[in-house]
Amino acid sequence: MELFRLEKPKIEPADRIAVIQALEDSARRQEIDAFIERANEPEYKHWEMAKYQKPLPSGLTAVQAWYAVRLARSFERMPSKIITKDNETFGWVRLAHIERDCHDLDLHAGGDLMASVADLKADERRRFVSKGLMDEAIASAQLEGADTGRVYAQRMLREKIAPRNTSDRMILNNHRAMLAVERELKLRPLSLDLLLEMHSILTDGTRDAQGEAPRLRRVGEPVDVHDGAFIYHRGPDVSFVKTSLAALVSFANDDETTFIHPIVKASMLHFWIGYLHPFTDGNGRLARLLFYWYLLQPRHDYWAIAYLPIAAKIKSGGKNGYTMAYVYAEQDGNDLTYFVSYVIRKVKEAYQDFKIHIERARREGAEIAGAARKKYGLNDRQIFLIKYLRSNDEHSTTLGSYQAVNRVSRATSFNDLASLVKTGFLKKKRIGHVVHFYGTEKIKTLIPSEE
């Protein structure tokens, strides 16, 4: 396979001189500054996009305008702790939209979201966390090639169905790892042992491309990130990786004194694992898990991140955008800004989606309160189940999954489901040895359509 190479314009000495001369003229400098701002905001553009940007500053070609962009970025660039295999430093630019988005997430995800979640009852909050972790586990595995459909994957996790194949196993492992981070691993400082433990959970029962259990790469053992046609990244040699992992651990434990916003820093850790690719398989899943681990730690306490499936937003936007964020960072002057701004944008999108989702849930809860509770005497557990079944005709539940989700006794679960069957909201269907409960048309009269 061929190594993918970004298109790079050839900047001649005459182009550099033309830009310097243009910057000496105040009117033309304003045009150049405006062009640079459009190249950086609201999306941090690479040459592949910036070359089409109009209008160009007076008297400059697209290549010359791009040189002005690169020059301005170099002046604003701050070094990171991440070193390339060629002993160069990855750097980043503290852009206005990065600062603004981080501030908005701090303000709203910690304020608005907390207020919204606080209005929910404890069991509803637990279900929202459960849904967020489940959706993240599924999407993260799908990004790495798992072809299990989302509906079946949700059912598998809820009903604790044994995995049928490697795709199912990847999703199950991701879910176990997310739960472990959310419940316990977030309380531990990072170490190589903890990284290995996370990786072990993620890859349990799977095999790498060589048919072996995924493990740390050995000296001289290559690893490529490819799509079958192009190689997008080659992992550095293991001797470099081992040194870098020690630096990564120190960085993750906040051993340095320079402040970096936690969401920016979590994005850097995400990139760093992806760049090093220390394992024969499971690197992408580990990178995304480490992102959650860092933000969920008590000293950062981004508790809301557990509600937000970031990988689902990456997947919905197309995996190519995620891949190219890595490629731009590596191939365009070791500029981490491409990746950091991309991840923060996906976090913001996930937050906005969740806010819409939770507002809809609260609205629906208010709408059905009268009919469900007064007319039919349904409890909160039953109402939540009806909402779930209403969202997809293929959704179902079983006695065991209902008991596990609600953390109630088997007798309570049986009584809840039997009552819903009696009132006509559920119908039973035996599949093998297990009875499944599906929603009837009657639930649509109780909860209005979202359209």
**CATH number of the domain to which 231 belongs:** 1.10.3290.10
Whether residues 434 and 331 fall in one domain: no
Give the pLDDT of residue 123. Answer: 58
Q: Of the given ranges (69-78, 239-248, 313-322, 388-397), which has the lowest mean pLDDT?
A: 388-397
Q: Output the CA–CA distances (angstroms, integers) from residue 375 to 371, 386, 426, in the order listed.
A: 5, 15, 17
C-alpha dihedral sign at 277, 279, 285, 289 = negative
Whether residues 440 and 325 fall in one domain: no
| C-beta of residue 310 within 8 angstroms of C-beta of residue 105 | no
Q: Is residue 86 part of a domain?
A: no
Q: pLDDT tens, 279-333? A: 999 999 999 999 999 999 988 878 778 778 899 899 887 778 999 999 999 999 9
* Other beta carbons less than 10 A from residue 358's beta carbon: 19
Whether residues 147 and 38 fall in one domain: no
Whether residues 124 and 203 fall in one domain: yes
Q: Is residue 165 part of a domain?
A: yes
Whether residues 280 and 345 fall in one domain: yes
pLDDT value at 121 more than 60: no
- Per-range mean pLDDT, top range of 131-135, 139-143, 245-249: 245-249
Structural domain boundaries, residue 258: 94-354
- Domain's final residue, options 49, 76, 103: 76
Q: Is residue 87 part of a domain?
A: no
Whether residues 45 and 182 fall in one domain: no
Whether residues 399 and 438 fall in one domain: yes
* Other beta carbons less than 10 A from residue 236's beta carbon: 21
Q: Is residue 369 part of a domain?
A: no
pLDDT value at 12 more than 50: yes
Q: How far apart are CA 28 and CA 232, in angstroms?
A: 38
Whether residues 12 and 144 fall in one domain: no
| C-beta of residue 355 within 8 angstroms of C-beta of residue 33 | no
Whether residues 61 and 198 fall in one domain: no
Q: Is residue 123 part of a domain?
A: yes
Whether residues 405 and 437 fall in one domain: yes
Q: Is residue 274 part of a domain?
A: yes
Whether residues 163 and 99 fall in one domain: yes
- Residue at token pair 């909402």: 387
* Other beta carbons less than 10 A from residue 242's beta carbon: 15
pTM over 0.85, yes/no:
no
Give the pLDDT of residue 371. Answer: 67
Quote the number of domains for the chain. Answer: 3
**DSSP per residue over 74-110, as a string?**
HHH-EEEEEE-TTS-EEEE---HHHHHHHHHIIIIIH
Q: pLDDT tens, 406-421? A: 889 999 999 999 999 9
Q: pLDDT tens, 80-106? A: 999 999 999 999 999 999 999 988 888
Higher pLDDT, 274 or 307: 274
Q: Is residue 368 part of a domain?
A: no
- Closest Cα partner for 143 from 349, 329, 313? 313
Whether residues 212 and 99 fall in one domain: yes
- Domain's final residue, options 354, 386, 412: 354
Share of the chain above pLDDT 70, in %: 91
pLDDT value at 364 more than 70: no
Q: Is residue 65 part of a domain?
A: yes
Mean pLDDT, range 204-226, rounded to an integer: 93
pLDDT value at 124 more than 80: no
Mean pLDDT, range 112-137, rounded to an integer: 67
Give the pLDDT of residue 451. Answer: 37
